[in-house]
Structure 1
Amino acid sequence: MSDRTSTRKNSTPIKVYCLPEEKAQIEANAKAAGMSTACFLREIGQGYQIRGIVDYERVRELARMNGDLGRLGGLLKLWLTNDPRTAQFGEATIRAVLSKIEATQDAMGDVMTAVVRPRAKD
């Protein structure tokens, strides 16, 4: 029995007394980081920096924007290869496509900034 390896479940827990609102805040922070409360507190207590999980809604938004860029790029490619289906495209149409690509790139940049530097919750 003495040659068994030590595990966390066999170790003595550390008790921390806190108010209900403090406990709720710690649990919310752990959930935002995608960790259990115990794991979150253990990591913080050992000086590790907690990295939150990426917001999946924003990732979905980036994927949608990437699809838009792909479709616009395909249209532009057809026009550049003188495809008969794009014979009716004028310069104004091509400039509009390029403008839409630039706008989508700007929107993607805004979403990426929001993922990297999330706003503080009010």
Structure 2
Amino acid sequence: MTNESKTTRRSSPPIKVYCLPIDRRQIEVNAKAAGLSLSTYLMNVGLGYQIKGIVDNNEVEKLAKINGDLGRLGGLLKLWLTNDERTAHFSEATLRAVLSRIVDSQDRMVEVMASIVRPKAGK
């Protein structure tokens, strides 16, 4: 074994980056959104690694609820399409309402997915 110590990142000299305060805040926001420290975020970006963000748990919960709604509505539609006796009393208006709710749920799901994938799309 040699007495030479291994070089670590902490013992290496840091790289200084000059930027405007607004740019620094944006970098800090991006690092926080990715769940990384500022240093790790900048190093990963500088080395060309793809940054994967953390999905907001509330948004995932919304998607799960919408998915459940779609499953239930789809189940009703399937019962009606197979002429199940439990849906024999459904009127055309009821079925149109079910179809409308399915479309509305799909639209809500697209909105939530867009807020997860492209949170800055509105800016």
Q: TM exceeds 0.5? A: yes
Partner secondary structure for residue 62 of structure 1: helix
Partner secondary structure for residue 99 of structure 1: helix
1:67 equivalent in alignment to 2:68: yes
* 1-structure distance, mates of 2:72, 2:121: 35
Q: How well do the aligned residues superpose, as a CA RMSD in angstroms?
A: 2.8
What is the deviation of 1:50? 3.2
What is the deviation of 1:6? 4.1
For structure 1, the residue ranges without an aligned partner over 5 or more in a row are none
Q: 1:102 to 1:25 in 2, by over 3 A?
A: closer
- Letter of the structure 1 residue corresponding to residue 56 of structure 2: D
Q: Report the equivalent of 1:31.
A: 32
TM-score by length of 1: 0.74
* 2-structure distance, mates of 1:121, 1:91: 39
| Between 45-54 and 1-10, the greater mean CA deviation after superposition | 1-10
Aligned length: 122
- Letter of the structure 1 residue corresponding to residue 111 of structure 2: D
What is the deviation of 1:89? 0.7
The percent identity for this pair of structures is 61
For structure 2, the residue ranges without an aligned partner over 5 or more in a row are none
TM-score by length of 2: 0.74
1:79 equivalent in alignment to 2:77: no
Q: 1:93 to 1:50 in 2, by over 3 A?
A: same
* 1-structure distance, mates of 2:120, 2:37: 23
Q: Report the equivalent of 1:116.
A: 117
**1:18-47 Cα shifts (integer Å, max 9, x gaps):** 788776654433111111222112123334
| Between 76-85 and 18-27, the greater mean CA deviation after superposition | 18-27
* 2-structure distance, mates of 1:99, 1:73: 12
